[in-house]
Chains A and B, each alone.
Chain A
Amino acid sequence: MTTPTSTRLVLADDSLLFRRGLSLLLTDAGFEVIGEAGHPDHLIALVDSDEPDAAIVDIKMPPTFTDEGLRAAEEVRNRHPDIGVLVLSQYLEVHYAMTLIASQPGGVGYLLKDRVTNVDDLSDAIDRVVNGQPVVDPGVVSELLAQRRTKNPLDDLTDREREVLSLMAEGRSNLAIENSLLISPRTVESHVRNILIKLGLEETPSDHRRVLAVLTFLNA
């Protein structure tokens, strides 16, 4: 399932060990890694000069090692709205994912760093941000869905609807949901409509707006 197209990538992570490993893995998986950066400033310079298809950025980078990755992602997107940015984080924190998705329409993703253990998931996420779609780590989504609530509107959903909801929250399009659950476009549409009605959300044409609305609802 690895994409044979040579998507051009730059990597930014302050750990050389991780950068090298990731670079080798992605090259083996058919990506073309055209540059590596250990500092946000270096990343911006690389993106400006080489114009890759996507940048994979660690959230913790110098100088303060807190959320520089989020700011770097925003900077990259502001300069080059067509370059996808995938932010990797060792923290399974909804807060960071929401901050990133809310800051940019489409083409950005928040992925748990551990996902590199599965190159298929990783390349899928890269492909999606390259195609201008949002990506939210499934772990973040399942944490949101798992939260206990006194009057839980999610209780009204069928199991199938919950599955569809989590795929929506991960930022997947209807087409992706069809492929993932092996159901027809009309079934997906009706599931989506039912979910939105049950949760009291408005229908929206853009995947990005939809994922934000769903995440905001779940995080309330």
Chain B
Amino acid sequence: MANIGDRAFSTTTGSWLRGADGIARTWVLSGLGLLALVLAAIEIIVGVPRAQPSGLVVVVNAMVGLSFVGSSIVALQRRPDSPVGVLLAATGLLWFSQALVLLGTSWALSLGLVLDGLFWAPLSHLLLSFPTGRLDSRVNRVIVAALYITLPVGNVLSVIFLDPTTAGCLECPPNVFMVVDDPSLFRITVLLNALAGGLLAIAVVLSLVDRWRKASQPMRRTLRPVWWALWPAFCAATILIISDFIPLPSAYGTVVLPLLNLALAVLPIAFLVGLLRTQLDRAMVSGLLLELEKGPLPPGRLSRAIAEAAGDPALEMALWLPESQVFVDDQHRVVADPFIGASEHRAVTSVQDSDGNPLAVLIHDRAVLADPLRIEAVASAARLTLENERLHAQLRAHLKEVRASRARIVEAADQARRGIERDLHDGAQQRLLALSLALERARVLNSTAENPRLEDLLKEVSDDLEETQAELRELARGIHPALLTDEGLGPAVKSLVRKAQIPTRIVSMPWARFPPPVEAAVFFLISEALANAAKHSAATEIAIKAEADKDWLTVEVSDNGVGGADAEAGTGLRGLKDRIVSLGGVLQLDSPSQGGTTVSAKIPTTLKGQDPE
């Protein structure tokens, strides 16, 4: 069986921001905001007067960057543990590379050219890793790595061949990175860059569609805002790229382009909504706490409460029982190793008890991990209840074990009795029989010899032997009646009743066969009840009733005697009680002092050790 102690508890990867204390974080985030505002201001102040045909394009363009950086500040503030904020910030800052070009100094221009379009790398990274911020497939890791490498390298390769003045920008300052002024080489590198960028963009789009297609319901819920905001933004990006090569009608520049840029500005907000929606759901955890405070939950309720709080209705829970080395669900049924259930969609989160030992596991949708803190909070909230639950489960397991071992003891004793009976039958009784035969032969042989004294002696020995055999036969029958083993309850009880000292009526008796321990329990109960009645009750009549349904056999022996029998007085009834309880049954003695005694029992016939309650 699995040992969950070996499996790492990993729900969070800390980021530097998470570790940083509040004040440091505030400084960093303020700086980030200020930088974005300065860049936006530069872009608008310098860009709007020069913008052709309308300044609106520039303003909307600056808003896209501000939107990304602004969203990143919220994300980093609210979810410092998530890489989403960092990726949003990187996208927003790289977006402002256009502002650098507008600054008009040669270093700013050159840097702007190198950084041009690099925002696609963190943006794609974000799209492919949302909502966790971690890339979960090899393909996606390769695509994102390719973007981070090809975009800057491509830019550098083209920038070294570019002289802005030769390219037609007469008032542009010189390009400090230029090595050779070669417009044709420059054009080739631009084409190559566009080709590589286009291919990677297609790869990103295909991978995104694939993720959406394969996403589970809870995952789609998280992805949905981004998914819907993505397509206008995607169109905007496509048009931006096309506009690099083909001159578009002016309507695009003045109306369509700002509208599409507006869509791009909405995208980071969609990310934020997707990210913080899980955060909002953290309120559910307090709901769970309230629910748990109400006291013990009925079986099955705990896992549902946890499922609600975690936001995954399909969540399953398994408790780890270290003693029996098995997992059980919250209805105490043993379940398969939950770690086998981990898959593309299902993740397994371990919960430790207060001593840090494995306590339980939660099997949930991977989308729940979008907010690792939440599942951790859920686990913490449920920890005490889970520990309690486990104690219960352990207690039940112990009880079951004790009951099973008691049943085994009784069964072993029965087996031993059967064995003794068989040994007597096959051993001593057979030998005595052989002896009788020899003796009888001696008598036959002597009958012609006419020795009356020997004849008398032989007769005497023969009679003694017969009596011994009769006694041995009764002894064997008392130890364990062969009739019970061979023919079942009906004939065996009938035989018992025939020898009873008080007139006994069998009112009802099932003639079907039952498991041997059940038959033995019923037989010995009747036998004990008859013997007790004969000894103490002064009854004149006894009635035996036994009935069986699908799962239970009930038996009742009642007499019309003096009553007042005490279950604790004799060892007989106590032994019977042990025997019956070990089978998961109950024994009852009803013997009022006004008279009459009824011994009754209810025994499961399936031997699965059900609870009689």
Q: Which residues of A contact B (CB under 8 A)?
A: 2, 15, 17-18, 21-22, 24-25, 28-29, 60, 66-67, 90-96, 113-114, 116-119, 143-144, 146-150, 152, 219
Contact = CB atoms under 8 A, between A and B. Distances in A.
A63 B227 CA distance: 76
B336 interface: no
Contacts of B430: 15, 17-18
Interface in B160-204: none
A130 B221 CA distance: 92
B444 A148 contact: no
B440 A119 contact: yes
Interface residues of B, number: 40
Given A92-B473, A117-B462, A150-B503, A25 B441 contact: yes
A90 B473 contact: yes
Given A143-B499, A150-B505, A18 B440 contact: no
A114 B392 CA distance: 60
Contacts of B486: 66-67
Contact of A117 (B440, B445, B541): B440
Contact of B483 (A25, A95, A147): A95
A119 B462 CA distance: 11
A29 B505 CA distance: 45
A21 B434 contact: yes
Nearest to B483: A93
Nearest to B435: A21
Contacts of A219: 494
Contacts of B436: 114, 116-117
Contacts of B445: 28
Nearest to B445: A28
Contacts of A92: 473
A18 B487 CA distance: 25
Contacts of A152: 503
A28 B441 contact: yes
Contacts, number: 95
Contacts of B465: 117
Q: When A and B form their complex, which 3 residue pairs have the shortest distance between CB atoms, in order from nearest?
A: A21-B437, A95-B491, A66-B486
Nearest to A17: B434
Contact of A95 (B434, B494, B499, B541): B494
A215 B438 CA distance: 34
B503 A148 contact: yes
A50 B583 CA distance: 53
Contacts of A90: 425, 429, 433, 473
Nearest to B500: A148
Contacts of B469: 114, 117
A219 B477 CA distance: 20
Contact of A94 (B443, B444, B495, B501): B495
Nearest to A28: B444
B504 interface: yes
B458 to A, nearest CB: 11
A117 B465 CA distance: 9
A118 B440 contact: yes
A96 B486 CA distance: 11
Given A18-B433, A18-B434, A28-B445, A93 B491 contact: yes
Given A114-B433, A116-B436, A150-B541, 17 more contacts: A2-B444, A17-B434, A18-B437, A25-B437, A25-B444, A28-B445, A60-B425, A66-B485, A67-B486, A94-B495, A114-B436, A114-B473, A119-B444, A146-B498, A148-B501, A150-B503, A219-B494
A146 B402 CA distance: 45
B538 interface: no
B466 interface: yes
A119 B503 contact: no
B439 interface: yes
Given A93-B483, A114-B466, A144-B498, A24 B473 contact: no
25 contacts: A24-B437, A25-B437, A25-B441, A66-B486, A92-B473, A93-B491, A94-B495, A95-B483, A95-B487, A95-B491, A95-B494, A113-B433, A114-B473, A116-B437, A118-B440, A118-B462, A119-B443, A146-B499, A147-B499, A147-B500, A148-B500, A148-B504, A150-B505, A150-B540, A150-B541
Interface string B472-516: 010001000011011100010011011111111100000000000
B470 interface: yes
Contacts of A28: 441, 444-445
Contacts of A147: 497-500
Contacts of A18: 430, 433-434, 437
B483 A91 contact: yes
A91 B422 CA distance: 12
Contacts of A117: 436, 439-440, 462, 465-466, 469
